[in-house]
Chain A
Amino acid sequence: MSKRRPYVRSMEGWWKKNPYFVEYMIHESTALFVAGYAFVLLVGLIRLGQGEAAWNGWLEAMQSPLSLIFHLVFLVAIAYHTYTWFKIMPITMPPIIVGGKRVGPGVITGSGLLAAVGVSLVMLVLVFWFGG
């Protein structure tokens, strides 16, 4: 190993200089909120496994104002993840050819967002019908 310590240019805040990278950092950061929400669910699952009293304790925590604030933040962040996930999809997925023509980026993003809206509505209706 060399004892020399060559100059390494600081990466501090490099992305703040370009709006494109600011957006990139924001949409990459949504993963933190996806993880946060998954941990809330994991705790819920563990509490469910510990019995009725434990589960009710978790439910009570979910009804606290702090939990509401957290979930409102989760909702905004994860909805933004949904938007960016499908917005980037035309670049991240292999090209789809339909009828000899490459499917355009607008169609891919649009279909993805439409699918997300469809899945959301189905879930809401299912909980509405079977949850009462």
Chain B
Amino acid sequence: MKSGLKRSNAPIFWSLFGAGGMLSALFGPALVFITGIAVPFGFLLPADAMSYPKMLAFAQNLIGKGFILAVIALFLWFAAHRIYHSLHEFGIHAGLAAKLICYGSAFVATVISVVVLLGLGF
């Protein structure tokens, strides 16, 4: 055995999984209701709550930026981790390709979100 154990990267992915799982458990249902049902169809909530000026202002606000990034990135890191580890249970032998697709898409989505949020200005 080589001297010095290789540090596992599992805690990083597990932390992202835990954070994303918690965030989606707390915010997910209400977010889906607000952005996908209530506002687009003017049901219970104001129909122009997601108008361009309002959403632009939200995405230019530092707290808004943080919230958008946390939701998109952590939801996807959570899902990537859970889907990757479920593949085995569905009888799919998860290899490097599956790992790259799961975590890779979460990584790419995170990078895209950061780029767009920075591009929108402050």
Contact = CB atoms under 8 A, between A and B. Distances in A.
A123 B38 CA distance: 12
Classify the secondary structure of B's interface with A.
helix
A62 B40 contact: yes
Interface residues of A, number: 53
Contacts of A32: 79, 83
Contact of B33 (A34, A59, A75): A75
A120 to B, nearest CB: 4
A127 interface: yes
Contacts of A74: 32, 36
Contact of A42 (B35, B44, B72): B72
Classify the secondary structure of A's interface with B.
helix
A63 B37 CA distance: 8
Nearest to B71: A41
Interface string B35-78: 11111110011101110101110010000000010011001101
A69 B113 CA distance: 26
A36 to B, nearest CB: 9
B48 A131 contact: yes
A48 B34 contact: no
B69 to A, nearest CB: 9
Given A52-B52, A55-B52, A131-B45, A15 B40 contact: no
A25 B85 CA distance: 12
Residue of B28, B45, B72, B90 with highest tally of chain A CB at under 10 A: B28
Interface of A: 10-12, 15, 25, 28-29, 31-32, 34-35, 37-42, 44-46, 48-49, 52, 55-56, 59, 62-63, 67-68, 70-72, 74-75, 78-79, 81-82, 85-86, 112, 115-116, 119-120, 123-124, 127-128, 130-132
7 contacts: A11-B91, A37-B75, A48-B116, A55-B55, A70-B36, A78-B29, A132-B48
